[in-house]
Amino acid sequence: MLFKSFLHRSQLALLRFLVDFTPPVNYMAFSGAGSADQLCGHIRQAGKTRVLVVTDKGLCDLGIVEKAISGLRSRGIDVVLYDGVLPDPTFEQVLEGADIMRAHGSDAVLGVGGGSCMDAAKIIAAAATSNQDPREWVGFNKIKHDVPQIYCIPTTSGTGAETTMGGVIKNSERREKTIISDACLMPAAAALDPNLSMGLPPAITAATGMDALTHAIEAYISLWDRGTSKSSSSAAIDLIYRYLPIAHSDGDNEEARESMSLAAYYAGMAINQVNVGNVHAIAHQLGGRYGIPHGIANAMVLPHVLEFCSDETEDALAELGRLVGLGSSDSTSAELARNFIVSVSDLRDKIGIPPQSELIKIEDHSMLAESAVKEGAGYPVRKLLDKKTAMHILEQLTI
Ligand SMILES: [Fe+2]
């Protein structure tokens, strides 16, 4: 394990060196009620005239998509819809959307929806302008051509895909989630409009909110500290602790919705700078294998991973404990860190996410653990995940 840790740190040092040479990222978002219309105006001002909107049928049926994009039509932009995105979008869906984009001759892509729609929008934009198989881009910085501008209007508050350069696409043959990350996939601008997440069902509010919390915590305890990763993640955690329970119990509370959409955006900025960690490494396996929604998988795994790395991340966890108002002035770092881990489980319970899933099968543990360890080794984590620990965590998640 010592050698593996040394190798991991060496690889990360090299990656960090390379990352520091990538072009700086511009973050741009319109926020508040009516900001979707502002974004539509911005797209027109940027000279776009033909826009592919990538979304899902459910949002179309609810009228949310028309609400989000009416500002494109009213400004004379020719719009075509691809509404075939399903949860955990696949490469097959990406290719379908790319065909529509080519036939339409779109000069920009707008993702409207949750993480699945925004991730699909990014990879569709790249696939429609290339003859390459998008499966070849799995990994970091593999896209070598110019990609049309991508815009995002999230309708949930969790994934942060509106402010990250990555997209998660499922390889349906292998039943595994793959990540394509490239600076050219960074959305040019986003709209964080609470009018579009009002009334989102409590279960989706809970799951997506815990995804945002996981992003913020994993970024805060990361081995790396780049750009605004610490300040963005602490701003997100503060907002989530104050507003996620309200958004969950009172779905039409505009202040809570607006605060959660900002929190997801800040958390997305943080992971765009330092990536995620071992929680996602395990949760991705549960999503890929069993279709457990990403936020639920993260919420189940998060306290266990924090427990696993509590010694290595004690100071950071203690800071987060103070941030959310735990402990007293004479509490030790160890007490604050412990209280913070307990508070994460308490928040998960409060918003109705179960700690275990009956979908997870004991006979899959070994294979899932191996994949999680492999994925975790690519993240800037303070403590490398090992198979025994991953198996132990999976046991605790299994009914
Ligand atoms: Fe996530």
78 and 102 within one domain: yes
Q: What is the pLDDT of residue 199?
A: 86
Q: Alpha helices, DSSP H only, in the chain?
A: 2-19, 35-45, 57-61, 64-74, 91-104, 115-127, 202-220, 229-249, 254-274, 278-290, 294-308, 314-323, 333-350, 365-376, 387-397
181 and 115 fall within a common domain: yes
Residue 355: per-residue pLDDT = 98
- Residue 168, H or E segment: strand 166-171
The pLDDT value recorded for residue 131 is 96
Domain that holds residue 365: 201-397
Residue 270 lies in a domain: yes
**Of the residues 146, 175, 196, the one at which a domain ends:** 196
- Is residue 263 one of the residues assigned to a domain? yes
Does the structure show a pLDDT above 90 at 11? no
Tokens representing 183 are 């600076």
Q: Is the predicted pLDDT of residue 3 greater than 90, yes or no?
A: no
DSSP state of 357: B
256 and 118, same domain (yes or no): no
Task: Based on the fold, state whether residues 188 and 239 are members of the same structural domain.
Answer: no
**Total domains, the chain:** 2
Q: Are residues 152 and 89 in the same domain?
A: yes
Q: How far is the CA of 294 from the centre of ligand 1 (A)?
A: 7
Please check the confidence at residue 231 and state whether its pLDDT lies above 80. Answer: yes
CA of 148 to the centre of ligand 1 (A): 25
The answer to whether residues 240 and 300 belong to one domain is yes
C-alpha 267 chain-centroid distance: 8
What distance in angstroms lies between residue 82's CA and the mean position of ligand 1's atoms?
Answer: 24
Q: Rounded to the nearest whole angstrom, what is the distance from the C-alpha of residue 189 to the centroid of ligand 1?
A: 20
Residue 119 placed within a domain? yes
Query: What residues pair up with 81 in beta bridges, in sequence order?
Result: 53
Looking up residue 230, the CATH number of its domain turns out to be 1.20.1090.10
Residue 4's pLDDT is: 78
Pair 205, 354 in one domain: yes
Residues 230 and 376 reside in one and the same domain: yes
pLDDT-above-70 percentage for the chain = 100
Q: Averaged over 41-63, what is the pLDDT?
A: 97
Q: Identify whether residues 234 and 310 lie together within a single domain.
A: yes
Handedness of CA 137, 262, 277, 246 (dihedral sign): negative
Among 196, 228, 246, the domain-final residue is 196
The rounded Å distance from CA 9 to ligand 1 centre is 23
Question: Using CA atoms, how far apart are residues 298 and 223, in angstroms rounded to an integer?
Answer: 20
Would you say residue 9 lies in a domain? no
Q: Is the pLDDT of residue 20 over 80?
A: no
Provide the terminal-to-terminal Cα distance of the chain, rounded to the nearest Å: 30
Q: How far, in Å, is the centroid of ligand 1 from the Cα of 218?
A: 10
Q: Do 33 and 108 belong together in one domain? A: yes
* Position 368 in a domain: yes
Instruction: Calculate how far, in angstroms, residue 334's C-alpha sits from the geometric centre of ligand 1.
Output: 27
**Tens digits of residue pLDDT in 258-302:** 999 999 999 999 999 999 999 999 999 999 899 999 999 999 999
Confidence label for 134 from pLDDT (cuts 50, 70 and 90): very high
- Compute the distance from residue 180 Cα to the ligand 1 centre, in Å: 14
168 and 207 share one domain: no
Residues 334 and 351 reside in one and the same domain = yes
In a domain, 6, yes or no: no
CATH of the domain at 108: 3.40.50.1970
pLDDT at 9 over 90: no
